[in-house]
Homo-oligomer: A and B are copies of this chain.
């Protein structure tokens, strides 16, 4: 189905269309002209709600561009941010990229070591930070020799008091004296606009350097109906942070579509989100499952949804049937599953149901809704076997999920190695199926899949099946060596109470949910399953713990 890479033939004739680069500042300039009174509302870190129109934000962005030049920021320089989703952070996105510099969004949840590593690796020249992170800045900027200036995202009245931050500037003072017009230069659309480091579970974080072109094409894709279908009728609240792959592209897609934005700042708990969504008439929102679990608790407490909320996009981790059912059946809020990666700007697939599924009864729809979704236009998807052969999109064959497209990483920042296959695809590290309707479903991480006699067993499917047992509180599955099958599954469980079902009892339960040959060869009980910072099972720790275990 996918196009091969036959080289360009001789004799091609160039088209005669204008040579206009796709640059991100065009988005805000467009919004200022065609959606001048559309709003970006922020719950500020200082407390109050602030309202800006796109016209006002465009003027402030031009003041900031002048201020950045004043600070000595040059094209190609990296400007770091350590900040929540706010209007000021959005102005930084546009002003930094607009002058040809690169907006490096730092994840404040990184450890001090990691933060220092990426500040130095990126050679950031200026750091803009929210007051929440003042202590982290005071602590972690030691030794960040490239930093020429540090700017607190606030006004003079709220300037941080720490002695170690006595030299910091404040954002409002910085931009106050500058003109609100700036002649943004035009340059090649392949120029870098922003930088985000992956939080890899092993090794140092790796930087993904997004181009203007990638961000612009991604924005078009986000605006289509198959993805988020943003429009002038929307008021969108991105819960997913702007330090996490550009808040899934929302700060770019919103001005393109004329959609209003509601920025939650630092308060991401259920009651705060509910209140902001409710008072601001938010229609759609984007975030990870844990955010929706928290909002669900608040909705149940209040017995209603935020008044205008229509739909939420869920990514970052697989969504559960319970969450979909609760949002859709209890509150009438549509849930769309999505999947992407830092290396993918980030959207790869979104699950919107085709008409043929809408006619089905809900229990038949559910398996389809639980899949990650169909490719966003612009992303090529394929699955391959171990030898690199492309597998059929039959919904059954599971293979290495590989992607290709104009917003997929080619190389990491300051790395000479290619992370691509010989034919130019990026291997996601996931194992997935793709069904004949084009819906992709992740079945496992490649490093976690259990290779039993040449066939694959999904550790994730086994874990989910085991979690359905009434006496099991947590479950993990890893592969352990086997003399005949090479690897077989070991089930590791935490019991809810004193009852500990035997392997035979568990398998009698599991056999109704998975193929018989997937059934675990052994069962071990532990007091806790080790989890990482984002709530994912740390299988490397389990493998270490059970490194001498043999299945047969």
Contact = CB atoms under 8 A, between A and B. Distances in A.
A411 B8 contact: no
A538 interface: no
Interface stretch (A33-41, A153-161, A262-270, A492-500): A33-41
A186 B410 contact: no
Contacts of A233: 355
A436 B223 contact: no
A360 interface: no
B224 A9 contact: no
Contacts of A526: none
A303 interface: no
Interface in A1-20: 1-20
A10 B191 CA distance: 12
A345 B54 CA distance: 28
A257 interface: yes
Contact of A9 (B11, B100, B190, B438): B100
Contacts of A4: 183-184
A60 to B, nearest CB: 15
Given A33-B2, A354-B232, A406-B22, A16 B226 contact: no
Interface in A356-399: 374-375, 377, 393
Interface string A69-103: 00000111000000000000000000000011010
A456 interface: no
B225 A231 contact: yes
A410 B19 contact: yes
A337 interface: no
Interface residues of A, number: 94
B75 A15 contact: no
Interface string A531-549: 0000000000000000000
Contacts of A212: 15
A192 B16 contact: yes
A26 interface: yes
Interface centre among A10, A17, A26, A212 (most CB of B within 10 A): A17
Contacts of A36: 436-438
A16 B407 CA distance: 9
A424 interface: yes
Given A34-B374, A35-B438, A76 B3 contact: no
A459 interface: no
Nearest to A414: B16
Contacts of A75: 9-13
B16 A413 contact: yes
A393 B20 contact: no
Contact of A33 (B29, B345, B354, B438): B438
Given A9-B185, A32-B1, A405-B20, A225 B229 contact: yes
A6 B9 CA distance: 35
A29 B438 CA distance: 12
A214 B6 contact: no
A209 interface: yes
A295 interface: no
A424 B345 CA distance: 32
4 residue pairs, one from A and one from B, having the closest CB atoms: A15-B211, A34-B438, A8-B187, A220-B220
Interface of A: 1-20, 22-23, 25-26, 29-30, 32-37, 74-76, 99-100, 102, 183-188, 190-193, 208-214, 217, 220-221, 223-226, 229-233, 256-258, 345, 352, 354-355, 374-375, 377, 393, 404-413, 420, 424, 426, 436-438
Given A1-B32, A19-B410, 11 more contacts: A13-B76, A16-B192, A16-B409, A18-B405, A20-B406, A22-B217, A30-B377, A34-B438, A37-B437, A220-B220, A229-B229
